Amino acid sequence: MAKIVPFRAIRPSRDKVSLVASRSYLSYNKEILVEKLDNNPYTFLHIINPDYSAGYEVNSYDEKFKLVKEEFNSFIKEGIFKKDNSDSFYIYQKNNAEGNSFIGIIGAASVIDYQNGNIKIHEQTIQKRQELFKNYLQTTGFNAEPVLLTYPNHKCIDEIIQLYRQTRAEYEFTTTNKSQHKLWLVNDEKDIKLIERSFSEIENLYIADGHHRFSSSSLLAKESKNINNSNTQYCMSYLIAEDQLKIISFNRLLKNLNGLSDEDFLTQIKEKYEIKEVQKALVPTQKDEITLYISKKWYSLIAKEEYVNRTHCVEKLDPAILSNNILAPILGITDPRNDKRLAFIDGTHSLEEIKQKVDSEEFKAAFVLKPISVNQIKEVSDQGQSMPPKSTYIQPKLRSGMLIYDFED
């Protein structure tokens, strides 16, 4: 059973939401970030980049988190943010420039479900990172980035979402990257109960994106001084049905061939892969197929059956097959996450972009992989395993500051 509850969000007014909500600050380079901060006094980036308002570089996390809290409070005092009068669910839809549409429900998911394993994970968290974000939540008293959860399609939830889509949205705006955003409030008591009951009929939820955010919320909930604060027992989450997820591949770029010539590299690959030169850029589609670009040539690589471990849910995935048969034994890359000879580029970038990175000699070669499926993620999660590093790039990516979950209610 999944326990999902409504909450009273702190959020911008309808006329300012397009100015407040921002992409993750990590997605902006320094020049664009400064331009946003210089020209938009309402952007949420002011809150999470307190160095700008302070006028100096803040080197202490403790000081930075306190300044974030001060900036947040100033937005409330200025009336940029206001708190809803009653608990609500929030239906959120995003249509991006590529024609993809996503819609789901934002609510608060139970930390106990996470701790009991009813909210399943497919990657392990780094203790240092979860401690840091826990301290952030504790100091600032709010969370502005929902975790992305997915669930098997549920007829009643689908019907509620479709019903609200026919009404006027509370928010409707388009951003400069040509994404359209809509948000509806669900504050009718009958509909709230229906949503809660529908989610209670779902046995397990799966984290699609945001493992560290949920683990940090879990850590916060365990703090003894927060035991009587019910808000810390939940984590703001965006719940979307499995058919709403878009999973994109992460491709690999190689800095060098570990001292091998191109010919020797291809010869060693042939021991474990059926290799075939193709005449144009190729997206892999066949079972156990990846593609390789090197020396201005494209190759299709299909792993030989005897070199694939079909009995293990992780080892049979393309990223693991690549690591086990090429990266580790041929190139000596045994720690893909941290080896500087290996870089990752998500599948939103075209094959032409990947080709140019190799042709320019920024990289020596590139591997293109197929996207992992929802069922593969669920199988890994259900068996308590972890995906290989950088296996998935999952959409939708949400904006910060549109809805804020308050721990200090």
- Model pLDDT for residues 365-382, shown as the tens digit of each residue: 999 999 999 999 999 999
Q: Report pLDDT digits (tens) over 108-158.
A: 999 999 999 999 999 988 889 999 999 999 999 999 999 999 999 999 999
Q: Answer yes or no: is 388 within a domain.
A: no
pLDDT of residue 56: 75
Is residue 341 assigned to a domain? yes
Report the CATH number that the domain containing residue 269 is assigned in CATH: 3.30.1760
**Is 182 found in the same domain as 77?**
yes
225 pLDDT band, cuts 50/70/90, is low
Preceding omega of 396 cis (within 30 degrees of 0): yes
Tell me the pLDDT tens digit for each residue of 398-408.
Answer: 889 999 999 87
Same domain assignment for residues 47 and 132: yes
Asked if residue 382 belongs to a domain, the reply is no
Return the sign of the alpha-carbon dihedral for residues 254, 255, 261, 262. Answer: positive
pLDDT at 23: 86
**Residue 122 shares a structural domain with residue 39:** yes
pLDDT of residue 249: 92
| Residue 377 counted as domain residue | no
Asked if the structure places residue 390 within a domain, the reply is: no
Q: Which residue(s) pair with 101 in the sheet?
A: 95
222-247: average pLDDT: 84
In terms of domains, do 283 and 166 share one?
no
Confidence of residue 44 (pLDDT cuts 50, 70, 90): very high
The answer as to whether 380 is a domain residue is no
Total number of domains in the chain: 2
> 326 and 232 share a domain?
no
Does residue 55 carry a pLDDT above 80? no
The 3-state secondary structure of the chain reads CCCEECECCEEECCCCHHHHCECCHHHCCHHHHHHHHHHCCCCCHHHHCHHHHHCCCCCCHHHHHHHHHHHHHHHHHCCCEEECCCCEEEEEEEECCCCCEEEEEEEEEEHHHHHHCCEECCCCCCHHHHHHHHHHHHHHCEECCCEEEEECCCHHHHHHHHHHHCCCCCEEEECCCCCEEEEEEECCHHHHHHHHHHHHCCCCEEEEECHHHHHHHHHHHHCHHHCCCHHHHEEEEEEEEHHHCEEECEEEEECCCCCCCHHHHHHHHHCCEEEEEECCCCCCCCCCEEEEEECCEEEEEEECHHHCCCCCCCCCCHHHHHHHHHHCCCCCCCCCCCCCCEEEEECCCCHHHHHHHHHCCCCCEEEECCCCCHHHHHHHHHCCCCCCCCCCEEECCCCECCCEEECCC
- On whether both 98 and 210 belong to a single domain, the answer is yes
Q: How confident is the model at residue 224 (pLDDT cuts 50, 70, 90)?
A: low
Structure-block tokens of residue 239: 């719940």
Query: Which pLDDT score, from 0 to 100, does residue 34 have?
Result: 87
Q: Write the pLDDT tens digit of every residue in 167-182.
A: 999 999 998 888 999 9
Evaluate if residue 226 carries a pLDDT over 60: no
Average pLDDT over residues 255-263: 96
pLDDT of residue 58: 82
Domain that holds residue 354: 250-370
The average pLDDT across 307-334 equals: 96
Cα–Cα–Cα angle for 172, 178, 182, nearest 5°? Answer: 20
| Mean pLDDT for the stretch of residues 44-50 | 91
Same domain, yes or no: 233 and 355: no
Q: What is the pLDDT of residue 409?
A: 66
Regarding whether 167 and 271 lie in a shared domain, the answer is no
Say whether both 133 and 78 belong to one domain: yes
Distance CA 78, CA 12 (A): 11
CA distance linking residue 187 with residue 249, whole number of Å: 38
Residue 376: inside a domain: no
* CB count in 10 Å sphere of residue 15: 8
331/214 same-domain check: no
Q: What integer best gives the mean pLDDT of the chain?
A: 93
Q: Is residue 383 in a domain?
A: no
pLDDT of residue 198: 97
Q: What confidence category does residue 389 fall into, taking pLDDT thresholds of 50, 70 and 90?
A: confident
CA dihedral of 215, 218, 223, 227, whole degrees rounded to 10: 170
**pLDDT range class, residue 311, cuts 50, 70, 90:** very high
The pLDDT assigned to 214 comes to: 95
Residues 221 and 308 in one domain: no
Query: Are 163 and 295 in the same domain?
Result: no
The pLDDT, as a whole number, for residue 229 is: 65
Residue-wise pLDDT tens digits, 59-68? 899 999 999 9
